[in-house]
C-alpha cells in the first residue's frame, strides 16, 4: 500500500476515527470465478467465497495496542507498518471504495478534512455533546452497516446553532431548521 510520507495529528485523528467507525463491518465476500487461489499451503477452489472483515482487522490486539480506544497519536512517528496494512475502512482490491484512492489523494479523506476544518476552526461552533455517551456510537448491531444500540438517538450535539450562524452569516437559520435536519435535538 502507498504510505503517506509523514502522518500529522489531523491525519492520525482521521485514521483512528475510520478505524473505529466502520463503513462496513462484516466480511465482503469475493469469489475467484475461473482459477483456484493459493494462500500459503492452502488451495482455495474457484468459486469459493472468501472475504475479510474490517472489524477483526481493526481490533487485532497484535497490531493495535488497546484497539478499542481512540488514540490518534498511535499513527505518529515510526508506527508498526502492520497498522497500515490492517487498516481497511475502504476495503482493498479492485472493488474498493471509489471515493478512496491514495491516502494523500482521495475524495473521502478530502471531505473528512473539510468537515473537521469547518467544525474545529478558530472561532468555530461551540460543540457540546447532548445526552450522548459512548454507547450511542459504539457499533453493536450489524445491518450490513454497523449501528449502535437500537434505542440510540445518535450522536447529539447542542449549541451548533451558534456555530452555523457564524459559518453562514447571511443566512437565517433558526432552531427548527436544524431540528428537521437532525443536526440538533
Choosing from 3, 69, 82, 96, the residue that interacts with ligand HEM (CB under 6 A) is: 96
Least distance CB 96 / ligand HEM (angstroms) = 5
Distance of CA 154 to the CA centre of its chain: 16
| Minimum CB distance to ligand HEM smaller for 32 or for 177 | 32
Residue 134 dihedral angles phi and psi, to the nearest 5° = -60, -30
When asked if residue 107 is in the footprint of ligand HEM (CB under 6 A), the reply is: yes
2-31 residues near ligand HEM, rule: CB under 6 A = 23-24, 28
d(CA 51, CA 28): 5
What is the 3 state secondary structure string of 116-174? Answer: HHHHCCCCCCCCEECCCCHHHCCCCEEECEEECCCCCCCCCEECHHHHHHHHCCCCCCC
When asked if residue 95 is in the footprint of ligand HEM (CB under 6 A), the reply is: yes
When asked if residue 108 is in the footprint of ligand HEM (CB under 6 A), the reply is: yes
Binding site for ligand HEM (CB under 6 A): 23-24, 28, 89-91, 95-99, 107-108, 111
Amino acid at each position: 500500500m502507498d504510505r503517506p510520507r509523514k502522518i500529522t495529528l489531523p491525519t492520525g485523528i482521521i485514521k483512528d476515527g475510520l478505524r473505529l467507525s466502520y463503513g462496513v463491518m462484516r466480511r465482503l465476500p469475493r469469489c475467484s470465478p475461473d482459477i483456484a487461489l493459493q494462500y500459503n499451503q492452502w488451495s482455495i477452489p474457484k468459486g469459493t467465497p472468501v472475504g475479510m472483515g474490517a472489524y477483526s482487522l481493526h481490533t487485532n490486539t497484535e497490531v493495535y495496542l488497546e484497539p478499542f480506544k481512540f488514540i490518534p497519536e498511535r499513527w505518529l512517528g515510526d508506527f508498526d507498518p502492520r497498522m497500515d496494512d490492517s487498516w481497511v475502512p475502504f476495503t482493498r482490491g479492485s472493488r474498493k471504495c471509489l471515493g478512496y484512492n491514495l491516502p494523500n489523494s482521495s475524495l473521502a479523506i478530502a471531505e473528512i478534512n473539510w468537515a473537521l476544518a469547518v467544525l474545529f476552526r478558530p472561532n468555530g461552533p461551540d460543540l457540546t455533546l447532548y445526552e450522548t455517551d459512548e454507547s450511542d456510537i459504539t457499533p453493536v448491531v450489524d445491518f450490513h452497516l454497523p449501528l449502535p444500540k437500537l434505542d440510540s438517538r445518535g450522536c447529539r450535539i447542542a449549541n451548533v446553532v451558534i456555530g452555523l450562524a457564524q459559518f453562514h452569516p447571511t443566512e437565517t437559520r433558526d432552531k427548527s431548521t436544524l431540528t428537521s435536519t437532525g443536526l440538533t435535538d
